[in-house]
Amino acid sequence: MTEVSVAPKHVRADLKRIASWIEPESRVLDLGCGDGTLLAYLQNNKNVTGVGVELSDELVIASVRRGVQVIQQNLEEGLALFDDQQFDTVVLSQTLQSMHHTEHILREMARVARFGIVSFPNFGYWPHGWSILSGRMPVTGEMPYQWFDTPNIHLCTLKDFEDLASALRLRITHLATFNGNREVKFLPSWRSTLAVYRFETPD
């Protein structure tokens, strides 16, 4: 296949926030890179050296068309093909909640890079509580699946993630929360649908 660089036409607000936390000309690993939008944006705007990991055939092809180097692999198999501290930043965007081995992937992120960035749906979003009180599992824009077909197996709140990060000795340096494309700064634990964390790995 001929590789053709295709600039993303639209980059979500959460991805732009992630990009703002990444240093120019750094080495970036994007886990579950999807169609390569984030890495293409970083390559075009920050001159990073990026590698993506993606399982879907269709999304791997889309990434390559954007000029993104991508490895086709299941993240559940771990990151053994990458060396310790091979990257400056590793990103796991809107994928953490679908991982079977949450602690393992976070430890592996800490092994391969100094900084990690993760984003996930915020289960503490207040309408979710109303759904549960009415006897239904929540279905929202960030979690659009029914209970029987959802890939989201490990849902959490902001405080849940912070407790896990502390247990793994991951030092949180930045937090941004979103509701759709709008950043939420007031009562984020209740009013945001998506949380984005940046952490520094242990020495």
Report the CATH number at residue 163: 3.40.50.150
Give residue 32's region: left, alpha or beta (phi > 0; psi -120 to 50): left
Instruction: Give the pLDDT score at 76.
Output: 87
pLDDT at 41 exceeding the cut of 60: yes
Q: Which domain holds residue 31?
A: 13-125+155-200
- Domain contains 8: no
Residue 140 clears pLDDT 70, i.e. is over it: no
pLDDT above 60 (res 111)? yes
Say which DSSP state 47 is in.
-
Q: Is residue 141 part of a domain?
A: no
- What is the distance between the terminal CA atoms of the chain, rounded to a whole angstrom? 42
Residue 2: what pLDDT? 44
Q: Is 40 part of any domain?
A: yes
Q: Output 125 or 7, whichever has higher pLDDT.
A: 125
Mean per-residue pLDDT over the chain, rounded: 88
- CB neighbours of residue 69 within 10 Å: 15
Q: Which residues of 2-15 are buried (b: 16+ CB within 10 A; e: fewer)?
A: eeeebebeebbebb
Q: What pTM was estimated for this model as a whole?
A: 0.89
Residue 35 maps to a domain: yes
Domain contains 61: yes
The reply to whether 27 falls in a domain is: yes
Q: Quick check: is 22 in a domain?
A: yes
pLDDT value at residue 1: 42
Query: Per-residue pLDDT for 3 more than 90?
Result: no
Does 114 map to a domain? yes
Quote the number of domains for the chain: 1
Give the tokens for residue 199: 């952490």
DSSP E strands, the chain: 27-31, 49-54, 70-72, 87-93, 113-121, 171-179, 182-184, 194-200
